[in-house]
Structure 1
Amino acid sequence: MYVVLVNPKAGNSQGVKQWEQLEKIFVSKKMAYEAFVTASEQETREVVWEFKDKNTVTAFIVIGGDGTVHTVIQDLAGSDIPIAVLPAGSGNDLARAFELTNNPNKLAEAILKQEVRELDVLHVNGNYCLTIAATGMDAEITDHAARSFYKRWFNFLRVGSLTYVLSALLVIPKFKPSHVKIKIDNDQYIAEKVWMVACGNTQSYGGGMKVCPLAHPTDGIVDLVFLHTVNRRTIISKLLPKVYSGKHINKDGVTYLKGRDIRISSDRPLKVIADGEIIGETPVAIRIKPNAIKLIAT
């Protein structure tokens, strides 16, 4: 049996439309399922808790964006039950990282074949994260984008990634960099005028920004990049345009490192995001957990 979790708010109700198509396919193929259109993170987690220990569950099917997947993996990390994702969010960086289909027919075929990949996850202050955890300017941008009135309209126009770009242009002129200490395994870095620190299990966030272009979700390593000692004009005119191609990492003010156990502290509390969701503030501890999530390749 497949347990289907649908986020009705994802992509301006795109998730519900995707499920309506997929349900017809499930019925035609006589695939056993139970579906839940969940109204909140708590409700989603309650469904996962109810079914995750049942031997009858073949897989969890998640229809939504990166935030929905983030909610589901909190209770499935380390489990033998795989997940399949039908992307219906605004950024869909997870779908981009793993080249997941948004076609319901192809998804149904894939979950019947059930070719499973084992993926690393980040453990971030007690939360699991499949894509990128970050603090500083990018966390402020993400928070601003999530609360913006224009996110809905960009999603409606199928250009959801522009939400992050516009939010970046609005947040960067006001954001104040901070003094940060970063410990990576046995090495410590102390930097002033730090704008952001991103720790990647995958390459991109914000709808395709390749902030950690060398990251790979099966190598057992966290890729860390931090931006420091540059001015706002350089960030907006030179670095922001290059982040979509990952060509920012060799520029002045950008430091790229790798490790397994990372600790970040700052001279003032900074917001922390994981999979695009605000999960708290600094200080933050991030470590890699290898092969913790099983994902059905679609």
Structure 2
Amino acid sequence: MIWFVVNPMSGNGRGMRIWQQVERVLAERRIEYGCRLTERPGHARQIAVELAGGDQAAAIVAVGGDGTVHEVANGLIGTPVAIGFIPAGSGNDFARSLGIPAKWQEALERVLLLQRTRIDAGAVNGRIFAISSGIGFDGDVAYYTNRSWYKRWLNRFGLGSLSYVVTVLRLLITYKPSDIELDIDGNRSVHRGVWLIAIANMPYYGGGMKICPEARHNDGILHMCLVANIGRLELLRFFPRVYRGTHTTHPSVTMLAGSRIRIEASVPMTIHTDGEFGGSTPAHIVALPQQLYVL
């Protein structure tokens, strides 16, 4: 049986509207399915763990945004149950990175094929991420965006990804960079004036920013973008390049990769995992090759 985990609040109610249309198609085709609606943060993970522990789930399909994917992935990591995705959020970077169609009709057709493949994941301090993790400035951006009134307002017009840009502009004035000690697979280095560290399993995050263009979901390693020693005006000037992935050649950007990463900072830096709050540094990050099945 295919189970659908639906976040009815995703995309300012878009998740529920899409599910109602999906459900009609399933009924018309007489496809056996089950549905659970999420009621609170963390509920999708709880549901996924419960369903994966039974013997009826052929796949669990997240209907919502990247936050819903994040929770379901945390519940399915290391199990033989595959995760599917019907995008209904504001960012949908999981879909963008894996080539999952943005239209629910096409995404549903992909799900119903039940063709599984394995992909990598990552973990920060034990918390799983399927797409990416961010530390520092981008951790704060994710934290404040998810709690903002303007994200909900922009979602009404299908412009939720712009909420990240609004938060970037707000935090650009007040954010204070930190010094860090970095260990990648045993290679240690010190970096001063660090704004952000993005660790990616997939190239996109933050609603379409191509933060690590070389990141692949099946190469067994995590890719990293470190931004340091840059002025606020210069950061603002080159920020749009992130959407094209051309920021990587800027002298303040360092691109790295590895499978085991340790980060310690002079002051605590906020962490996000797939856009969800994930605590603060120090951070121990590991690649988890081929640990997640997807449709």
TM range (shorter): over 0.9
Aligned to 1:113: 113
1:97-134 deviation digits (Å, cap 9, x = unpaired): 11212434333332332222211000111111011111
What's the counterpart of residue 64 of structure 1?
64
Q: CA deviation at 1:230?
A: 1.0
Instruction: Give me the whole-angstrom Cα distance separating, in 2, the residues matched to 1:256 and 1:99.
Output: 24
Aligned-partner SS, 1:289: strand
Map of 1:234 onto structure 2: 234
Give secondary structure in 1 for the equivalent of 2:94. helix
Q: Which residue is equivalent to 2:90?
A: 90
**Counterparts of 1:45 and 1:254, CA distance in 2:** 35
**Shift in Å, 1:144:** 1.6
**Residue 205 of structure 2: SS of its match in structure 1?**
coil
Q: Which amino acid aligns with 1:291?
A: Q
> How far apart are the structure 1 equivalents of 2:22 and 2:72?
19
Whichever residue aligns with residue 198 of structure 2, its letter is A
Asked whether the 8 Å contact 2:200–2:224 carries over to 1, the reply is yes
* Post-superposition CA distance 1:60-94 (Å, at most 9, x none): 01101001111111121011111110011111111
Query: Which residue in the other structure is 1:123 paired with?
Result: 123
Deviation at 1:43, TM superposition (A): 2.8
| Bigger mean CA offset, 200-209 vs 45-54 | 45-54
Following TM superposition, by how much is the alpha carbon of 1:49 offset from its aligned partner in structure 2, in angstroms? Answer: 2.5
Task: Check conservation: 2:121, 2:289, Cα contact below 8 A.
Answer: yes
Closer, same or farther: CA 3–16 of 1 in aligned 2, 3 Å: same
Please state how far the C-alpha of 1:9 moved relative to its aligned partner: 1.0
1:112/1:204 CA distance change after superposition, 3 Å: closer
Residue in 2 that maps onto 1:251: 250
1:1-298 equivalences in 2 (<5 Å): 1-238=1-238, 240-296=239-295
**3-state DSSP of counterpart to 1:219:** coil
Instruction: Kindly indicate whether the alpha-carbon contact (under 8 Å) linking 1:25 and 1:108 is maintained by their aligned counterparts in 2.
Output: no
**Please, what is the CA RMSD of the aligned residues?**
1.1
- Whole-angstrom distance in 1 between the partners of 2:45 and 2:223: 29
Task: Quote how far apart the aligned CAs of 1:158 are.
Answer: 1.1
Rounded to whole Å, the distance in 1 between the matches of 2:40 and 2:226 is 33
CA offsets 1:215-271 (integer angstroms, 9 cap, x no match): 001000110111111111110012x01111111111111101111100111001111
> Which residue type is aligned with residue 164 of structure 1?
Y
Name the SS for the 1:12 alignment partner: helix
Q: Secondary structure at 1:45's aligned position in 2?
A: helix
What amino acid sits opposite 2:127 in the alignment? N
What is the SS of the residue equivalent to 1:220? coil
Report if the CA contact (8 A) 1:26-1:108 is conserved.
Answer: no
* 1:21 Cα offset (Å): 0.5
Structure 2: how far apart are the matches of 1:4 and 1:217? 23
Counterparts of 2:268 and 2:228, CA distance in 1 = 17
* Identity between Structure 1 and Structure 2 (%): 34
Distance (whole Å) between structure 2 residues aligned to residue 84 and residue 90 of structure 1:
17
Residue 250 of structure 1 aligns to which amino acid in structure 2? T
Counterparts of 1:102 and 1:224, CA distance in 2:
27
Give, as a single letter, the amino acid of the residue that structure 2 aligns with 1:271: T
Q: 1:253 to 1:108 in 2, by over 3 A?
A: closer
TM-score scaled by length of structure 1: 0.96
TM (norm. structure 2) is 0.97
Structure 2's unaligned 5+ residue stretches are none
**Distance in 1 between residues matched to 2:37 and 2:219, nearest whole Å:** 35
- The whole-number CA distance in structure 2 between the counterparts of 1:174 and 1:195 is 12
